[in-house]
Amino acid sequence: MVRYIIGRVAQALLVLWAAFTVTWIVLYELPGNPVQLLLGGGLGGVSAASPAQIAAVKKQYGLDKPLPVQYLHELWNVLHLNFGTSISQGGRPVSNILAENLPPTLELAGLAVLITIVVAVVLAFVATFVRAAWLRSFLVRLPAFGRAFPTFWIGMLLIQVFSFDWHLLPATGDQGVDSVILPSITMSLPWAFYLAQILIRGMSDVLDEPYIVTARARGESRLRIHVRHVLPNAALPTLTMLGLIVCWTVTEAVIAETVFGRPGLGSAIQQAVQWQDIPTVQAVVLLAALLFVTVNLIVDLLYPLLDPRVTHVPTTL
């Protein structure tokens, strides 16, 4: 078990390092000149900075050093949780930007994951439990249909109905608890359907297992079999997917926060990419990677508890 944990943690660290490095290379390879943007060139502006001003700003951000030096320097800083200063927000510490934008996104993503789980479980449960063939067939196909809709479209539809037509919830902003409902539903629906698909498949498979027949033979009720045997056994692969879904919420937040005009990491990274704000993009990507490895680590560590057979796998590695 200890070896299993050490192995998983080492893997997680490797993923973090790789995420940092790949982002760094991609960002520095991008065409564009963030320094010029910072100094107000471009089409928005009318005047370009002098070479001396450009050199001074480059020096300030350490962009005048050779690339390997810059890379090691930044890696060292990040290891010390120093994410540098934002280019597009005029020298503001990136850690401030993260601190400001993380809470609204966590709130949004947390609720979205919760909705994803509830919708997926309820849908899968009902779809595999009902006896009416037509209803069962409809519910089993529903997730594939639901998954096909793009997130932004769902968001705009929800806004139109719940906010503009029925005046129940606000369309934009982050004031009050009710402002988080529509964006979190928007973010969760595609993944809820995705998760439901996997869960339906898993539950259908479990229903064919001999131990279900045994349970039935012992006279257990259908509901009891579904709750006690089918759902727990089918949930295991879903747990892995859930780990991934938690991470995808960062991507979904970009869309949801833009459509619903909310502050958060999604809109922060959207702005940062637009202005090639390398330190901010880097920090958000790293944060997303951290979320990714942490959630997956938790899932990996939960697995042996839920299924003792898993612990044997790493010892053969």
Partner 1 sequence: MERSRPLKPSGVALLLTLVALLAAGFGLSRSLSTASAKSISAATSAGTPVHGGDLTIGFDLNVENCIDPNQDFGLENRDLDRNLVDSLTDQDPSTGALVPWLATSWSSNKTSTVFTFHLRHGVTFSDGEKFNAAAVKTAYDNVYKLGPLSLLGITYVAGYVGTDVVNNYEVKVVFSQPNAQFLQASATTVMGILSPKSYNNTPAQRCLGQFWGSGPFTLQSYTPGVGAVLLRRAGYAWPSSIESNQGPAYLSEITAKWIPEDSVLIGSLNSGQLNLAWPRVALSAANRQLIESAGGDIFSRPYPGITDLLLSNQTPGRILADPIVREALQESINRAQIASTVFSPDYPVVTSVLEDTTPDYTDESSLLGYDPKAAEALLTKDGWVPGSGGIRVKDGRKLTLIEPITEPSPIVDLLQSQLAKVGIQLQEDLVTTAEEESMIDEPGGNYDLAETYYTRGDPDVLASVLDTAIVSSAYVKQSQTAAQQAKLAALFAAGNKAIVPAQRQTIYSEIQNYLISQDIAFPLDERLEVTGVSSKVHGLAVTDEGLTIFNNVWLSK
Among 26, 32, 67, 178, binds partner 1 (CB under 8 A): 32
Q: Is residue 173 within the footprint of partner 1 (CB under 8 A)?
A: yes
Q: Quickly list DSSP for the chain.
A: -HHHHHHHHHHHHHHHHHHHHHHHHHHHHSS--HHHHHTT-TTT-S-PPPHHHHHHHHHHTTTTS-HHHHHHHHHHHHHTT---B-TTTTT-BHHHHHHHHHHHHHHHHHHHHHHHHHHHHHHHHHHHH---HHHHHHHHHHHHHHHTS-HHHHHHHHIIIIIIIS--S-SS---SGGGGHHHHHHHHHHHHHHHHHHHHHHHHHHHTSHHHHHHHHTT--HHHHIIIIIHHHHHHHHHHHHHHHHHHHHHHHHHHHHHTT--SHHHHHHHHHHTT-HHHHHHHHHHHHHHHHHHHHHHHHHHHHH-GGGGHHHHT-
Contact range with partner 1 by CB under 8 A, out of 44-52, 61-69, 239-247, 306-314: 44-52
Among 4, 12, 34, 115, binds partner 1 (CB under 8 A): 34
Among 77, 258, 294, 311, binds partner 1 (CB under 8 A): 258
Q: Is residue 232 within the footprint of partner 1 (CB under 8 A)?
A: no
Contact 148, 224 (CB under 8 A): no
To partner 1, the closest distance from the beta carbon of 173 in angstroms equals: 6
Q: Is residue 171 within the footprint of partner 1 (CB under 8 A)?
A: yes
Q: Is residue 33 within the footprint of partner 1 (CB under 8 A)?
A: yes
Contact 228, 244 (CB under 8 A): no
To partner 1, the closest distance from the beta carbon of 112 in angstroms equals: 19
* Complex with partner 1: residue 37 or 154, whichever CB lies closer: 37
Interacting residues with partner 1 between 81 and 140 (CB under 8 A): 88-92, 100
Contact 147, 186 (CB under 8 A): no
To partner 1, the closest distance from the beta carbon of 33 in angstroms equals: 6
* Complex with partner 1: residue 64 or 100, whichever CB lies closer: 100
Among 25, 26, 53, 150, binds partner 1 (CB under 8 A): 53
Among 2, 44, 66, 133, binds partner 1 (CB under 8 A): 44
Q: Is residue 52 within the footprint of partner 1 (CB under 8 A)?
A: no
Enumerate residues 6+ apart whose C-beta is below 8 A from 49.
35, 36, 39, 40, 41, 57
* Complex with partner 1: residue 261 or 304, whichever CB lies closer: 261
Give the interface size with partner 1 as a residue count (CB under 8 A): 49
- Cα 264 to Cα 99: distance, rounded to the nearest angstrom: 10
Among 46, 148, 305, 317, binds partner 1 (CB under 8 A): 46
Interacting residues with partner 1 between 260 and 299 (CB under 8 A): 260-263, 267, 271, 273-276
Contact range with partner 1 by CB under 8 A, out of 5-13, 110-118, 121-129, 161-169: 161-169
Q: Is residue 60 within the footprint of partner 1 (CB under 8 A)?
A: no
Interacting residues with partner 1 between 186 and 215 (CB under 8 A): none
Residues that bind partner 1 (CB under 8 A): 30-34, 36-37, 39-50, 53, 88-92, 100, 156, 159-160, 163-165, 167, 170-173, 258-263, 267, 271, 273-276
